[in-house]
């Protein structure tokens, strides 16, 4: 098969895989200057029974029409061609260079919570797009999710089992078959009645598998058919979200990819729980001697990406530091907190102390001024009783007895 050309332009490079309804090859488009690589799927049912062939042909056409109707999305392979040659059908798709999630899980084992949340958001954006176009994939599983090497994004492939929701269709039983993968397929899909929530169920199962390392068929169930799983490394809120995605009855699940995205965004805002930060402050007493340090505890809410520091770049925080009597940095759980401002009660006491000290100072100054005034008066009074001699005056001559002294 290597080197053979199909459709007058697609040259086979190598064989990739074989499924229940066809074979997949890596090919190159020889009619393009760069001989771009592509994926060529050949309809090749493993069973030649007429009903199986008819079903395979229908599913093959479904993938082609679904990809065509969906239009462009950067995380869905683009449909390049669909043709029939020598009574066989061929479908040509954009080649995605990357690795399946199945191989990634085998190689790396259990994932962190943050990585699983990022993965969920990535795939949910794709599901939001296809569900908005009225398409249910019906076969969400690790082998149909490829992590693209160029940017690390998840690409959803294999729309051969996709079901298009036809409004007003009266004979759904003839249009819908129970196709999917055990472990990832919910009960309503097994009955041939898939819904958008069926894709969300499969995605939730993959997330649980990534968090626990447990295969879907090995997960336990309770008496009501709900999955039983647990991981000490997973936050209760994420467990709640995944449990709702994988409820046994589709009515109990999220009904849209958008609803799950909103729940995950809410989870991101609350990943860091409120923490207690203690600041130390020593208020002044009436005798101007510092009292024992007083502990003031405040409940703070820190966003996951926010770290409170005392860097000069933060103008508001710097103002707090300058206004505080004696700023103290307290470190708890790698979070730096600046000393809290005094409470209104402490501020009132400080103002009272300052007022009392000012009154004492004024009284002391008044007393000192009074003392100096008294000393000054005592010194000046004796000098006023002593006669003073006038300059250039003639000395008085004794005129003898009987002479009037006042003359």
The residues that are catalytic are 139
- Is the CB of residue 25 less than 8 Å from the CB of residue 42? yes
- The count of residues in the chain is 407
What whole-number distance in Å separates Cα of residue 200 and Cα of residue 204?
A: 6
What whole-number distance in Å separates Cα of residue 199 and Cα of residue 140?
A: 6
What whole-number distance in Å separates Cα of residue 96 and Cα of residue 24?
A: 13
Neighbours of 255 (CB within 10 A): 13
Here the tokens at position 399 are: 């005129």
What whole-number distance in Å separates Cα of residue 148 and Cα of residue 150?
A: 6
Helices 113-132, 196-212: inter-axial angle, 10-degree rounding: 170
DSSP string, 239-258: HHHHHHHT-SSGGGS-SSHH
Determine the number of helices (DSSP H) and then strands (DSSP E) in the chain. Answer: 10, 17
Helix (H, G, I), strand (E, B) or coil at 348: helix
- Is the CB of residue 184 less than 8 Å from the CB of residue 91? no
Helix (H, G, I), strand (E, B) or coil at 196: helix
What whole-number distance in Å separates Cα of residue 284 and Cα of residue 291?
A: 7
Which helix (H) or strand (E) segment holds residue 58: the answer is: helix 50-70
Place of tokens 């890596």: 26
- Is the CB of residue 47 less than 8 Å from the CB of residue 37? no
Side-chain-side CA neighbours of 46 within 13 Å: the count stands at 6
What whole-number distance in Å separates Cα of residue 3 and Cα of residue 10?
A: 9
């Amino acid at each position: 098969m290597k080197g053979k050309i199909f459709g007058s332009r697609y040259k086979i490079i190598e064989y990739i895989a074989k499924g229940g309804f066809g074979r997949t090859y890596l090919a190159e488009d020889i009619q393009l200057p760069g001989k771009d690589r592509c994926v060529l799927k050949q309809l090749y049912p493993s069973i030649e029974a007429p009903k199986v062939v008819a079903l395979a042909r229908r599913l093959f056409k479904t993938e082609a029409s679904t990809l065509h109707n969906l239009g462009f999305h950067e995380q869905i392979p683009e449909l390049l061609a669909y043709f029939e040659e020598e009574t066989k059908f061929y479908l040509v798709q954009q080649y995605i260079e990357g690795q399946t999630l199945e191989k990634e899980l085998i190689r790396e084992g259990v994932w962190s919570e943050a990585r699983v949340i990022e993965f969920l958001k990535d795939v949910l954006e794709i599901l939001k797009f296809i569900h908005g176009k009225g398409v249910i994939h019906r076969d969400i599983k690790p082998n149909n999710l490829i992590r693209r090497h160029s940017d690390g994004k998840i690409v959803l492939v294999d729309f051969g089992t996709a079901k298009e929701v036809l409004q007003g269709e009266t004979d759904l039983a003839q249009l819908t078959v129970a196709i999917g993968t055990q472990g990832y397929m919910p009960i309503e899909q097994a009955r041939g009645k898939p819904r958008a929530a069926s894709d969300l169920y499969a995605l939730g199962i993959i997330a649980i598998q990534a968090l626990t390392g447990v295969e879907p068929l090995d997960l336990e169930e309770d008496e009501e058919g709900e999955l039983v799983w647990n991981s000490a490394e997973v936050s209760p809120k994420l467990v709640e979200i995944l449990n709702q995605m994988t409820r046994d009855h589709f009515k109990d699940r999220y009904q849209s990819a958008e609803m799950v995205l909103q729940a995950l965004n809410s989870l991101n805002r609350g990943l860091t729980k409120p923490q207690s930060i203690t600041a130390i402050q020593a208020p002044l007493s009436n005798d101007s001697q510092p009292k024992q340090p007083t502990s003031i505890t405040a409940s703070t809410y820190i966003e996951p990406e926010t770290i409170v520091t005392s860097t000069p770049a933060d103008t508001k925080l710097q103002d707090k530091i300058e206004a505080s009597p004696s700023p103290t940095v307290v470190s708890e759980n790698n979070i730096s907190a600046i000393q809290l401002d005094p409470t209104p009660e402490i501020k009132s006491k400080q103002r009272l102390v300052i007022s009392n000290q000012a009154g004492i100072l004024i009284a002391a100054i008044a007393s000192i001024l009074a003392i100096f005034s008294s000393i000054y008066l005592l010194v000046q009074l004796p000098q006023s009783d002593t006669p003073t001699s006038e300059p250039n005056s003639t000395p008085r001559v004794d005129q003898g007895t009987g002479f009037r002294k006042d003359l």
